[in-house]
Structure 1
Amino acid sequence: MEGNTAWLLTSAALVLLMTPGLAFFYGGMVRAKSVLNMLMMCFGAMGLVGVLWMVFGYSVAYGADIGGLLGNPVEFLGLSGLMTPEGDPTSGTVDVAFQAMFAIITTALIAGAVADRMRFGAWMLFAGLWATLVYFPVAHWVWGDGGWIEGTGALDFAGGTAVHINAGAAALGLILVLGRRLGWPREPMKPHNLPFVMLGAGLLWFGWFGFNAGSAYAADGVAGIAFVNTVTATCAAMLGWLLLERLRDGKATSLGAASGVVAGLVAITPACAYVDTWGALTIGAIAGVACAAAVGLKYRFGFDDSLDVVGVHLVGGLVGTVLLGFVATADVVGGDGENGLFYGGDAGLLGVQVLSAVAVLAYSGVVAVLLGLLVKAVTGGRVDAEAEAAGIDEAEHAESAYDFGGGHGGRPVTAGPGGAGVPAGAAGATANLNTVEEARS
C-alpha cells in the first residue's frame, strides 16, 4: 500500500513537471516577442484549472454517476469527505492529486494553437470554461465509474481520448474562431529558440513516465509494461518523423526530433499497457510519420494552428486510439485485456475505439467553437493588430523575454560604427543589431 502511494505521488509530481516542460517546448517554437505570453498561458492554466479541480472538478469527473455523462458535482465539493489520510491510494487525496495534473496539462495543450494573438484574459476565461464543460465531463465518460465510454469497453489507459483528442479538437475549434495570425502564411514565423524546444521535449518525455506508468495506480508489472512501451513507441516515432523529413526535405531537424518525441508520447498514451513491443513499435512509427505529414495540412486547409497542436495531439491521439483496435493484446495485462484484429480479436474493439474517438472529437470541437464565440464577444478574443505586430509580450504583460538594447554591464565604452558608443569589444556585434531585430519580429 505504501509503495503504491509513493509511486502515485511521485507520478503526480512528474505529470505536473510536464506543464513547465510544455511551456518551454511551446515557448521555444514562438517568436522572441511572444515567448513570455506562451509561458504565461501554460502557467495560467496550472493556477486556474488547479483551483477548479479542487473545488468541483474532481467531483464532476469522479463523483457518483449521473446518466453516464458526469459525476455528481457536489458530492466532493471542496474535496469534502476526501481529506483523510486513510484508505486506498486509488481514491482520496492521492487520486485527487494525480488526476489534477491531467486536467491541468490537457487544458494547457490547447494554448499552443493560438500563440501570438490571443489576449491573456480571454485565454483564462476560455480555459476555465472549457475545463468545466468539456474536460471534467469527458474524464468521467472515459474513466469515471459509470461513464458511458467506459461502459462500451473502449480502451484508454492514460488519455488518448480524454487528453489528446480532447485538447486537439478544442484547439481546432478555437483557432477557427480566432482566425489567422497577421502575415500567416506569407511571412516565415520560425522558432526563436530551438534549445528551448529540445529541453521542453526532454522534460515532457521525463514527466510522461508518470503520466503513463503512473496510470497503473500501482508500482507493479503493469506500470513496468507502460513504462517500457512509452520508451519504445517514442523512440520509433522520433525516427519515423526524422526519416520522413529526410526523404521529403533532405534534412533531419532538431525541431523534427522534438516533435517526433511528442508525437510518439501522444500516440502510445492510450495503448501503453495494452500492447507488446511490436504493437508499440507499430504505433510509434506510424504516429511519427502521420503527425509529420499532418502538420502540413494547416497550409492546405488554411487554419493557423500556430504550434501544430492539431497535427500532433489530435492526429497522434487518433492514431494511438484507433490502432488499439488492431494491435491490442490481452497477454500483456495477464489476460484481462482485449485482443485487436491482428491478435485474433474481432472488429468489436475497433468499433468502440473509433466511436469513442469520434464522440470526444465532435463534442470538444463543437463546444470549443461555442466557447470561443462567447469569449470573443465578451473580451474581443485577440489583441489588436498593432499589439500583435509589436509583440504580445509587451501588450499583455508589459515585459519582454530578452533585453537586446540594455545597459553596458559596467564595461568601458568605445566608438563603434558611425561613432556610436558601444561596449569595448562589441563593435562588431553592433552591425548585427538590425538582423536581431528582424529575427524578433
Structure 2
Amino acid sequence: MLDLLSQSQAKAALQTLAARAATHVDLSTDLLSLVVCLKDAGRKGTLEAFAARAAAQVEGTTSEGIAQLLRALREKWAEEAWAEEAVQTLTAPAAAHTDLQDLYGVVDLLSEMTKAGKQNAVQVLATRAAEHAPLTDAYRVGALLSQLTEAGQSDAVRKLLGRRLVEQVGALPSQRLASLDSRLAGAAARPVVLPETIVVDRGKVFVSRAFTAACESLGISIQPAPPHAPTAKGIVERTFGTINALFCQRLPGYTGSDVTRRGPDTEKDACYSVTQLQDLLDEWLVHYHHRPHEGLWHPMMPRKALTPNQTWAALVAVAGYVPVPLTGRDYLELIPVRWQAITAAGIRIHHRTYDADLLAPHRGRSSPVAGRGGKWEIHYNPHDVRQVWVRLPDGELTEIPWIHRDHVHRPFDERTWQHIRTQAIDGNHGDAEQ
C-alpha cells in the first residue's frame, strides 16, 4: 500500500501506523516486526510509549522480542534520557517475567541487559534461566552457559544449571514410557538396548548358529575381531578387567589369573552354582550402571563424570526411544535352531518323537531350504523340550508337540530327559526304546 503513496504521504502513514501498532498490536506475536516498524518511523514518543506498554505487559512477550526492543533503544537513542528511562522501566519486569522457552532469546536478552549495564536484571534473569529454562537442546544450553560466563555470573548460578543438567541426564524416561502403556511400568526401569553392531571374539558361543540367527532376526550385525588381537576390541577387554576387579575377585572361590592372585582354599570356598553367579552378576550390573565413569561426560559438563544410566538417558533425550516389546514369535526366533528330517513318524530328537497332523504333507519330503540336505529348520527350547517349532514353507514357525506331552504337566530340560533315560535303561536291562 505504501508503494502507491508519495514519500511524504508514506512517511505520515507509517507514523500513524506505528502509533496505532504501539497501542494495539499483540505483544506476544508481533513484537519483533513492530520494533522494526517503530525504528523506521523515527518517532521516539511512539517508541517510548510502546516501551512502557511492553514493560507493563512483559509476561505476554518473548525474550527475543524484549531483546530486540532493548537493542533498538540502545542503538538509535542511546544518548537520550527518555531512552535510558525506558530501558530501566523495561529490564526489571522483563528479567522477572519474560518467557524462557526460547533459550536463544534468553541468551540474546542477557546479552542486551549486560551491554546496558543492568547487572541486577542480569542476575535475576540468569537465576531464573538456570532454575526453569528447558534443557532439551545441547547447543542452546551451551550458548546459555557461554553467556552466563560472559555476563560474569557467579559460579553458584552456573553450578545450579549444572546440577539440573545432571538430574535431567540421569532421569530415565520411565514415567513417559509407563504413561504410554501400563505394562511398560516395570520394563521402563530396565531399558533394553538393541545395538546396531556387536564386536565378538571367535568363541564358540559367538559363532554358533543360535547366536548368529538371533542377531539376524533382531537386525544386529556381527563383527568378529581378528584372532589373537585384543586391541581390536579394547572396550570388551576393559569390561572383562572391570568385571574381574570389581566383581569376580570379591567372590569366595575366586581362582585369579595366576597362582599369585589365588586364595589358599579356592576349591573349598567355591559355593555358587552357575545360576547363582548369574543372579549375583545381574545385581552387580545394576550398581555398575550407577557408577560414574571417567570416560563418560556431557558436552556441557566436560569435567563431570557420568554414569552409564545418565549417558543413556542423555542420548535418549536427543535420539528418542520407542520401546517395542518382543512378541512371542520374536522369542521363538531367538531360541536355538537345529536341522532335522521330517520322517513318516514325525520329527525325532534325542529319542523323542514330535508329531502333528499338519506334518502329513511334508513327511518324507525335503525342505525347500537349499544347502541343508533336505532337512527342516527346527527351533527348540532347551529348558522345556515338550514341544518344538518347525518352519514350514509358509515361513511361519509352527508348534509340534512331543507325542507324550499330555502326560507331562511340568517343563523339563535335556538334562532331566537324559537322567530319566539312563534310569529307564538301567531298569529295563538296556532297552532304551522301552
Higher RCO structure (Cα 8 Å, ≥6 apart) = 1
**Would you tell me which structure has more helix in proportion to its own residues?**
1
Tell me which interval the TM-score lies in, with the shorter structure as reference length: under 0.3
**Would you tell me which structure has more strand in proportion to its own residues?**
2
TM-score after normalising by structure 2: 0.23
TM-score after normalising by structure 1: 0.23
Answer with 1 or 2: which has the greater Rg.
Answer: 2
